[in-house]
Structure 1
């Protein structure tokens, strides 16, 4: 188990600031990027340095109104799917939007430098990383600020600007590409970049290494419904990836703070891509009014929700007499800029891609490819690593058990593709497994969108707020500062 090195984080902060200054300068004033080392340095910052976890999680059906008096406006607005008015605080929609485009600018700067050097083969690893990083940030933007991908409407649905060149203006104006155009650009970057990425890094988990690149590609192709590509990408995992999934059982011997560090440790085999994000997600996950309510968490994490009817191995804690509960996933490092005044910036190591998600993507693809028996074996293995007292002799997963536990409800799950009743039950089971594994991490919101799941948010002394199917609020509103430069707003 490795803790993040505070010195590394301080250097990261200094470098991010200097790189942002570099990108805001006119081209004639910039230092020439003409060596592999300089290109690699730029690519360290080609990943969003802000977090989307708080935004996505609070919009999902993982959260409830606990009724606490104190709350942050941004959390309440996310909970009610309202236009967010806070623009100058971390964990806000505008901050994450900017972080993604800032990361894209770094990736594009690296790609331009590689091209100007003649695209030599010795720069293929940097080129591959830059392409994957550019694709990732655009993917996150279109996933949050556009409606779900549907090939029947994607050519007319509004996407986000796909930027493929470095900034040449401090206030550049961009038009929105369609969702289909954005997906085509993402796929082109993945296709070109995937064969080029490497594992040859001092800190490979903070870069698009080979496994991280394949895991991201599997997420993308799962959304597109290209099941065979998901299966092919995950073949190295196999149907029983022993030692490669998260070892929740080992957390029982740790304190809550030790678990926070272990969850995003670079030596955890499941963790494929990490980022040091400027975020207060550790505080939100444990103390926010609109999060996992102590009165309601058993609806998601009680033993009755397990296919084996056993308790989950997940450990939960509370700071406020069980009004809210949380899983210790985030360890905050506070970097002081003025120790006397107590001023600084909080940073949290976050897991962006993992073998846990990668394996669930594989299981889902097998279901949709009609390989139910194989999917049953894989899902049983996955759930066995999460169940207290799992007995391989008696705790057997069967098609009948999955169908009984997750019966088909008319118009509940409505992706753009057709599913048989059996497939629907299995997809619900996998989505519910993903929901629990990635609690607090926002992953549930993306399943809510792609499966078009209705969400009901109850509030004290207010009518229930319903997010209906195909509701316009499923796409975040474009940040105000972006719309003032000409980017078209989403309909409301």
Structure 2
């Protein structure tokens, strides 16, 4: 699909490095979007051309200090929950900027739909624009605001929620409250769900019906609306055979083919995939990563509920096993000058999957005190993730879950109360999610949602030289607003 170039004036929210270029154009000197086809082409740019995975994963408890000498400043700043000073590929500032650029495209599409009469035939395009706008705002508020808590959301600083196209050269924005942001996200999601379609040539690269439900499930899980999560995920059922990732099949592929298969559009579990500008595929060379000497803490058999080996396998073929990785990410390098061997890297990522939606469904059952159903579903999930699973003997009970995941006082502290049995099951689900989405940043969302304490040790010559602890309600859980935005009037997060 050809891209439509739009001149954006969202200077307050995007990088000011190209300020002169922006100022050389008038705000309305943009391609006129006056046909349904042009709206469709525009919506291709309504998905962020950046990934959050480097940011989120490095802040989580899935990474350790390998002491590799090839440390990058941005990697170290993520590890220490600091604001990054860099603004290039895979940085906090880039994800902020690209998210607001995507929002600008969605808003321009919605304005064009309105100008064309907002007719019923345009409803699928309106749905995609609303869902992409909601998604980018949701990711922004997830990273740059305090976790959602209805008791404080009215006063907690959120992010600017933009609903109109740019018409001013420089416009000042203020931060909506977290409550306002979540209300607006919910409004966009519900309106989008009414009209979302599967009528796409490349279905999984757009918000289709199932991807929209998966996004809504993630959103309502954060809000604590368990019934809505169950309603949206009901098509999965309690044993979604053939709908979740088959690691036996995945592991059988040749090493070079595995990352291509992981994010492939034809995989049933993959609901929304993307190829953003990213080098996350190369992250195994980062100093702060999943280290070989600590991998058993994440994927050792003691972390499996049945005490058996996970089907998820790590590889340490690079760097002599100092760092290890699950071979999930394929990098497509687009050459802009073949002779000079320069170009742009793009990495295949899965944004939403049946695997995540199923775990969210199980969590909703637990919170609705449907423990027997949760037992059955969690057992099914572990069965297709465990080597040597035996249905007759590998069974889950309340007693086995409580023994494997005992309640630890003040460990998991969401904004809602947990009974002891709920606390054990929630931990079991969170630990399953942690392993299933290793390297994908999902663990950070649970760390934030459940207010989990994280300790990051920095080593010098094999000894701890710095112990950095992210305590409960640590202000660093909300990323600091990028300088390009705060320098132009966006209020900073307290520190």
TM-score (norm 1): 0.95
Change beyond 3 A, Cα 1:360–1:20: farther
**What SS class does the counterpart of residue 467 from structure 2 fall into?**
strand
Rounded Cα–Cα distance in structure 2 between residues aligned with 1:211 and 1:111: 22
Rounded Cα–Cα distance in structure 2 between residues aligned with 1:163 and 1:346: 29
* 1:429-485 deviation per Cα after TM superposition (whole angstroms, max 9, x unaligned): 000000000000000001000100000001114221000000000011100011111
Residue in structure 1 matching 2:472, options 460, 469, 489: 469
Residue 55 of structure 1 aligns with which residue? 55
* 1:84-113 deviation per Cα after TM superposition (whole angstroms, max 9, x unaligned): 1101x1000000000100000000000011
Residue in structure 2 matching 1:287, options 259, 266, 285: 285
**Per-residue deviation at 1:171?**
3.5
Q: Does 1:72 find its partner at 2:72?
A: yes
Q: Report if the CA contact (8 A) 1:303-1:312 is conserved.
A: yes
Residue 420 of structure 1 aligns with which residue? 419
Q: Does 1:274 find its partner at 2:273?
A: yes
Rounded Cα–Cα distance in structure 1 between residues aligned with 2:30 and 2:491: 31
**Per-residue deviation at 1:490?**
0.6
* 1:171-200 deviation per Cα after TM superposition (whole angstroms, max 9, x unaligned): 332100000000000001011111100000
Change beyond 3 A, Cα 1:41–1:81: same
* 1:360-407 deviation per Cα after TM superposition (whole angstroms, max 9, x unaligned): 000000000010000000000011110001111111111111110000
Q: Report if the CA contact (8 A) 1:337-1:344 is conserved.
A: yes
Residue 35 of structure 2 aligns with which residue? 35
Rounded Cα–Cα distance in structure 1 between residues aligned with 2:222 and 2:163: 23
**What SS class does the counterpart of residue 486 from structure 1 fall into?**
coil
Q: Report if the CA contact (8 A) 1:26-1:168 is conserved.
A: no
Unpaired segments of 5 or more residues in structure 1? 1-10
**What SS class does the counterpart of residue 33 from structure 1 fall into?**
coil
* 1:247-281 deviation per Cα after TM superposition (whole angstroms, max 9, x unaligned): 11102221222110000000000000011110010
**Structural mapping, 1:100-179, within 5 Å:** 100-179=99-178
**Structural mapping, 1:237-252, within 5 Å:** 237-252=236-251
**What SS class does the counterpart of residue 29 from structure 1 fall into?**
coil
**Per-residue deviation at 1:345?**
1.0
Residue 7 of structure 1 aligns with which residue? none
TM-score (norm 2): 0.94
**Per-residue deviation at 1:338?**
2.0
Q: Report if the CA contact (8 A) 2:45-2:105 is conserved.
A: yes
Rounded Cα–Cα distance in structure 1 between residues aligned with 2:154 and 2:211: 29
Residue 450 of structure 1 aligns with which residue? 449
**What SS class does the counterpart of residue 115 from structure 1 fall into?**
helix
Aligned length: 477
* 1:203-259 deviation per Cα after TM superposition (whole angstroms, max 9, x unaligned): 010100000000000000000000000000001111111100001110222122211
**What SS class does the counterpart of residue 347 from structure 1 fall into?**
strand
Change beyond 3 A, Cα 1:58–1:434: same
Unpaired segments of 5 or more residues in structure 2? 11-21
Residue 490 of structure 1 aligns with which residue? 493
Change beyond 3 A, Cα 1:419–1:28: closer
Rounded Cα–Cα distance in structure 1 between residues aligned with 2:8 and 2:346: 20
Change beyond 3 A, Cα 1:79–1:192: same
Residue 209 of structure 1 aligns with which residue? 208
Q: Report if the CA contact (8 A) 1:212-1:354 is conserved.
A: yes
**What SS class does the counterpart of residue 388 from structure 1 fall into?**
coil
* 1:283-317 deviation per Cα after TM superposition (whole angstroms, max 9, x unaligned): 01x21110101000101100011011110011211
Rounded Cα–Cα distance in structure 2 between residues aligned with 1:214 and 1:456: 34
Q: Does 1:307 find its partner at 2:299?
A: no
Change beyond 3 A, Cα 1:333–1:170: farther
**Structural mapping, 1:313-332, within 5 Å:** 313-318=311-316, 319-332=318-331
* 1:311-333 deviation per Cα after TM superposition (whole angstroms, max 9, x unaligned): 00112111111110000111111
**Per-residue deviation at 1:21?**
7.0
Q: Report if the CA contact (8 A) 1:129-1:207 is conserved.
A: yes
Q: Report if the CA contact (8 A) 2:9-2:166 is conserved.
A: no
